[in-house]
Each structure stands twice: as structure tokens, then as C-alpha cells.
Amino acid sequence: IGKLYVVGTPIGNLNEMSPRAIDTLKEVDLIAAEDTRHTRKLLSYFSFSTALTSFHEHNQETKKVEIVEKILTGKSVAVVSDAGMPAISDPGEVLVEAALQAGITVIPVSGPNAALNALVASGIAAQPFTFIGFLPRQKKERKKELEKWASFPTTLVFYEAPHRVKQMLQDSLAILGNRKIAVARELTKKHEEWLRGTIEEVVVYVEQTDTLGEYCIVIEGAADEGFNQMDNWWEAMSIVQHVDH
């Protein structure tokens, strides 16, 4: 009986592909990839090729059964997504569950993750934190979801599509109130940029700019006496910081 490897891949900068991730993807019999063309490019950048099969949100229910059967016959399989860690706002979770149910050993192979990168350099409490990922697209559901987290005392971490960032920030201001926020754009990439300030300041800033690229948003937890007072250093900081890579 084979094993299932859950392998992290870069979120931008290809140098973040770990030697262990490369070895794992080289050695397995099959890679279950969110987009096989995307992963084929990654493999060819590192000069190797391994058999690929597609595994995404639209075929995962049937594919998980096939993949588990393969592993039970002795083949090892790695699951990857287009970027970062599988299962984190990406396919992977249902395969892990099916593998574990079948008695298969599941091994994570660490890699980059946008949420953790954003959290650790946000300047906002790194623990406790709650990873929320994408909010619902529909305005009403999005607001309802934000309301659910409004009184949560932990730091909140979100993903958002570029064309919805302005709306998401406006909704956050309306529902969560004015809090500390850090918006990380294009992490690890050439145009990496950070916005840090109050939600109000960041809303004003993004209203005057185009929102392009990939965004991860970190917002401090609900007011707790003495816990989330704006510190002087935070207030004095310039809102936007471009990172030279």
C-alpha cells in the first residue's frame, strides 16, 4: 500500500519550492494536480516529469475514489494545487479524508502559504488567529459571514479576489468597525506590496488605486479592553510599503 503526500508549491517565487517537495514529486507514481498544465510547467522548470492526473473541485468526488484505489494497490500519490498548500482554499481536503478512511498514511510536505506569510509580517497578533479564506461572493451572504466573525477575539485572515477587494474592505469597515489591518499583495513576487493602517485608511487608499494581483487580508480581532488599542508606532507608519525583491 502506497502513501498520500500533500505537497506545498510556490505562491509566486519559484525559489520557494523546497528540495523535499521536488524529491517527493519526482519519486511518487502519480501527481494529482488542480491544473495539470500549470503543474507540468512547474515540473519542467525543475527539469523532471512525473505522471499527472487532474484533481479539482469539479471532479474530486469521483477522482478521490480512483486515487485511493491506486494507492491501495501500492502506488504513491502526491496532491498539489496551483499555488501554496493544498486544502487551504484549494482542493485536497476530500482526498485526505478519503485516504485516511481507507487506512492510508497521509504525509504533509511543507510549502509556502499566503495566509501564514501575510500573518507573520502583518504586525497584528499572530495568535490566536482564525483563517477564514474567501468570503461568499453574494453581498448578503458576505455580510452575514462577516457578522459571524465580528465579535471574535482572534486575528482574522482572509483571501480575496482583486476585483472584490474594495468591496470586501468596505464591508469589513461597516461590519467589523475600524480596526488595524494589513493587506498583503503579490507576496513573494516582483510587485509585493503591503498596506498597513486602520481599515478606514486602507479603504481610502484603495479607492484611489487599481487593485491588481493576489491579496491576503489580516484584520485584528474584536476589541477587547486594552488589547487592540492603536499603538503609536502603528499610527505613525506610512500606509503603503513596496517591497524590492
> Rounded to the nearest whole angstrom, what is the least distance from the CB of residue 182 to ligand SAM in the complex?
11
Q: Does 89 bind ligand SAM (CB under 6 A)?
A: yes
Question: In the set 188, 193, 194, 196, which binds ligand SAM (CB under 6 A)?
Answer: 188
What is the pattern of x (binds ligand SAM, CB under 6 A) and - over residues 64-83? -----------------x-x
Q: Does 186 bind ligand SAM (CB under 6 A)?
A: yes
Residues 156, 219: contact at Cβ < 8 Å?
Answer: yes
With contacts defined by CB under 6 A, name the span among 44-52, 102-110, 180-188, 194-202 that binds ligand SAM: 180-188
Are 216 and 157 in contact, with CB atoms under 8 Å apart? yes
Dist CA 109 CA 18 (whole Å): 9
Q: Which is nearer to ligand SAM, 2 or 78 (CB)?
A: 78
Closer Cβ to ligand SAM, 67 or 85, answer by number: 85
Give bridge partners of residue 37 from the DSSP assignment. Answer: none
Q: Is 10 in the site for ligand SAM (CB under 6 A)?
A: no
- The Cα 184–Cα 202 span in angstroms is 12
What is the C-alpha separation between 160 and 181, in angstroms, rounded?
Answer: 14
**Are 78 and 7 contacting, i.e. CB atoms less than 8 angstroms apart?**
yes
> What's the angle, vertex CA 107, arms to CA 104 and CA 109, rounded to 5?
155
**Does 184 contact ligand SAM by CB under 6 A?**
yes
CB of residue 81 vs ligand SAM: minimum separation in angstroms?
5
The most distant pair of C-alpha atoms in the chain lies apart, rounded to whole Å, by 61
| Contact flag: residue 195 with ligand SAM (CB under 6 A) | no
End-to-end CA, the chain: 44
Q: Is 84 in the site for ligand SAM (CB under 6 A)?
A: yes
- Residues 161, 211: Cα–Cα separation, whole Å: 9
Find the binder of ligand SAM among 55, 129, 159, 194 (CB under 6 A): 159
Query: Which stretch, 50-58, 111-119, 123-131, 231-239, contacts ligand SAM (CB under 6 A)?
Result: 111-119
Angle at 22 between CA 17 and CA 28, to 5 degrees: 140
Of the residues 11, 68, 104, 176, which one makes contact with ligand SAM according to CB under 6 A: 11
151 or 245, CB closer to ligand SAM? 245
H/E stretch holding 114 reads helix 114-120
Contact range with ligand SAM by CB under 6 A, out of 37-45, 110-118, 138-146, 164-172: 110-118
Say if CB 10 and CB 82 are below 8 A apart: no
Residues in contact with ligand SAM by CB under 6 A are: 11-12, 81, 83-85, 88-90, 113-115, 159-161, 184, 186-189, 214-216
